[in-house]
Amino acid sequence: MFPKLITKVKQLILERQLIVPHDNILVAVSGGIDSVVLLDVLCQLRNSMNFEVSIAHYNYKLRGAESETDEDFVSKLAQKYSLRFFKECTTVDLSKMPSLQEQARNLRYEFFNTLAREYHFTKIAVGHNADDNAETIFLNFLRGSGLNGLIGISIQKHDGIIIRPLLMFPRREIELYAQEENLYYQCDSSNAKNLYTRNYIRNEIFPRLKQHVNHNLTETLLRNNTFFSELNNYLCKEYTTFYEKAIVEKNISGYVFSRTIFLQTPVFLQRYFIHKFLTTFIVAEITFSLVDDVLNFLNNETGSKYSLPNGCVAVRDRERIIFTHTIASDSFCYCIAPEEKYVFASFQFSSVLVKEEINYHNHSSDVEYIDAEKLEHPLLLRNWEHGDTFFPLGMDEEKKISDFFIDEKISVIEKKRIAILVSHGSIVWVCGLRLDDRFKITATTNKILKLSYSKTEQS
């Protein structure tokens, strides 16, 4: 009969579907008590649950002979359980950012993920326990990391490959299992030193809080963790609904949201949505001050811009908010000739004389037909300039292109990317949008020129 912990871990694995039959599990083993117990539990379950187990160990060479002893110990564990053993040795550079602990974490997970790709491991099992999770939640609260921080460590990452089968079990239960099963493990001497914030919380803060404030501190934090996880799941669904309703446009350059719909949302949800969206869009750590700055920016005057991290920009464009990776600020101007095809960075343009009879009234907005004999050189393709005017097709009055863009709801970013065909100073075509009435086909037209315009993928 299985010990109590094994039975509980098996039940958790089945309930959460952490492991399924034929999974190939890579167990991260440092040599400490948590990873040794995790390894033993999974080895006890592998035959009955039909999965395979291998071991991976990362040696940072930070503790001299102690690090080498850990590696040798884990190697012998692999022999004991008759498992494949993978190891990596790297000296962590103490002079470089990020922090030592973050460097170590990044190095070992990069190693584990590389092994998973090369050897087709379907899961990577790591030995975090309930006390680790409580410490993480408390530390995140002190750092002000928001709702995501209060959720703590997930039992399974979103990609499904990282699993933590011991996460629901306290350290004392893991210690009891090791004692009952006579498991040997390594003790990391650095854990007793308060050099790192987590060690200080574990060794100094938690014992005093448990003694003087709440002796069930770990359980209390984990109950709150459950509540915040459920709240986050609810907010994620609300975010999806909001996103589908508020998004006006998205393309390779960025996203356009309805400002009106956004401001109709309660402020708490606005703050949550901004944080969640920016985390994905900017791919950087999002601070509360940044979220508040963007929230305040929503009320700035139209045309306002706000610089975001990693070269991103937010733009207020009337009742739309644009988040873009770049703003096209450089002007372009190309001299062209009729009956040629041109491929530029953000669009393609071509023209050809029409020889056969066609129905030029029935075509897409990216194609226009004009009276070729009305063209004069030079012919230019350029972007919009302040003061540009034209006679929109069907109108006999001049109109500013800036006003035309407003009527067409063209964003302040997009209007800088639109090509305009100019003949000897007169605008012929706002490409893809509207022909100038002066160049249209009439009963006296003898030569018809077909114009074609399309945006390229990278635009």
Look at residue 12 and give its three-state secondary structure. Answer: helix
Q: From CA 419, how far away is CA 428, in angstroms rounded?
A: 11
| Distance of alpha carbon 352 from the chain centroid | 45
Which domains are delineated in the chain?
4-223 (3.40.50.620), 251-324 (3.30.465.60), 333-455 (3.50.40.10)
CB 413 within 8 A of CB 253: yes
State the pLDDT at residue 254.
79
Q: What is the pLDDT of residues 251-284, one digit of tens each?
A: 666 788 999 998 898 888 888 889 888 888 887 7
For the chain, which residues score pLDDT lower than 50? 97, 328, 458-459
State the pLDDT at residue 252.
62
DSSP 205: I
Q: From CA 413, how far away is CA 324, in angstroms rounded?
A: 9
Write b or e for each residue in 99-114: b if 16 or more Cβ atoms lie within 10 A of its Cβ, otherwise e: ebeebeeeebeebbbe
State the pLDDT at residue 459.
42
Closest CA to 275 of 285, 261, 266, 263: 285
Q: What is the pLDDT of residues 348-361, one digit of tens each?
A: 999 999 877 666 66
Triad 267, 272, 278: Cα angle to 5°? 120
Look at residue 87 and give its three-state secondary structure. Answer: strand
pTM of the model: 0.64
